[in-house]
A and B are shown apart, each in its own frame.
Chain A
Amino acid sequence: MYPAKFDYVAPSSLDEALRLLSESGGEAKLIAGGHSLLPMMKLRLAQPATLIDIRKIPGLNEIRVDAGGLTIGALVTQAQIASSPEVARALPMLSEAAEKVGDLQVRNKGTIGGSLAHSDPAGDLPAVFLAADGEVIARGASGERTIRATDFFVDILTTALEENEILTQIRFPALAPRTGTAYAKFDHPASHYALTGVAAAVTVGDGGSIHQARVAVTGVGVKAYRAEGVEQALTGRGGDALQAAAERAADGVDCNDDIHASAEYRAHLARVFTRRALATALERAQA
């Protein structure tokens, strides 16, 4: 399968890439790892006139940890994240999710920037980004802006990024003391995409009860979402509240229904995997 014809450019600076992007009048697409975009182009679901390869832009492939948290460049691959001891220490659910993406070869190519910018309804990293309450830095012709995770995913394959913006960095704030995180996934056995993936971050207070919980679900609806009903049902409660809280994981969500799984089954998976992710996160918070 061949994609439709296109021009290819590989600029060596962010400014050049931004210039090419705005000159294209919406006809160009950025390409990073290409492992979401190329399959779509081969199926002719996407037919950009120009591909702007951003992998030669310097400064976008670092992982940094400081007191404020974890900062990851848009071009860092899922494999780099999965094998980074710093990430494993700073945000265990991110390591776990990156390690569960696709397979070894996919992880060697797929980038965190591409994973978020693509907003695949079955992508793993969007759930972690939401549960960590992260933010992205986007560069456009008129400068830089920050977009919070809660504002980022708009719809299926649609984010708050403008057509002529490039996502450069992803920030995950440092976890509060006594916070545990976990990612639980039920993947499709052939593609390894998530039928359901749940990221959970749980902070316990002095008395051992849950001070705050953030839970995000992917694979179930048109985009990854925060399960607010679950979060509210946990605040101020103990571990005995998990089961009932997890029951609310798909409340108000129009669940995907396709050849891989019915809407009803997906809602069921969301509840089960929310309970599992929460149980592990809570255990880690208490450890």
Chain B
Amino acid sequence: MKISMTVNGKQYEHDVEPRLLLVHYIRDVLQLTGTHVGCDTSQCGACTVIMDGAAVKACTILAVQADAAQIETIEGLATNGELHPIQRGFWEEHGLQCGFCTPGMIMTTVDLLKNNPAPSEEEIRKGIEGNLCRCTGYQNIVKAIQYAAREMSGTRA
């Protein structure tokens, strides 16, 4: 089946099998391997991308369901080689260890901060409920998101 979608501002068109998952389309067809597959059962959030403005788990969406959609992946965040404030937050606050969960954590944070630019610690923890990290214990991820929230609202403290 023919589909077309915009990924990180670039238009793509492919003929795909209906059962191809969006995450495999992104990784295997578009070769954008920053989006990870962790559990493949919609629990871990490693496959999170932004679809039409909302964070979603790409292992539980068919590529054909994303026909005509606007998709953003981790590769689309930095502009002209400059890291996005959320990426900077993870860098500055040591928000990752192995890094496997990080792209998904960051894409979820994009949605979280869009709807709530100044979240409390509790709201951050609830916001990333759908993303599992097996390394950090979440403490520094929360700090990374707080850092990003400050940077993005221009109240860098």
Contact = CB atoms under 8 A, between A and B. Distances in A.
Given A51-B18, A83-B115, A108-B111, A34 B130 contact: no
A34 B18 contact: no
A7 B41 CA distance: 22
A79 B54 CA distance: 10
A154 interface: no
Interface string A184-226: 0000001110000000000000000000000000000000000
Interface string A230-258: 00000000000000000000000000000
Contacts of B111: 104, 108
Interface stretch (B7-15, B61-69, B71-79): B61-69
Interface stretch (B25-33, B42-50, B84-92): B42-50
A104 B113 CA distance: 12
Range class of the A interface residue count: 20 to 34
B55 A3 contact: no
A1 interface: yes
Interface residues of B, number: 30
B127 interface: yes
A120 to B, nearest CB: 14
B40 A34 contact: no
A38 B54 contact: no
A81 to B, nearest CB: 14
Given A2-B21, A7-B18, A191-B43, A104 B55 contact: yes
A42 B40 contact: yes
A83 B60 CA distance: 23
Contacts of A5: 17-19
Interface string A251-270: 00000000000000000000
Interface in B86-125: 108, 111-112, 115
Interface of A: 1-8, 10, 31, 34-35, 38-39, 42, 51, 53, 55, 79, 83, 102-106, 108-109, 190-192
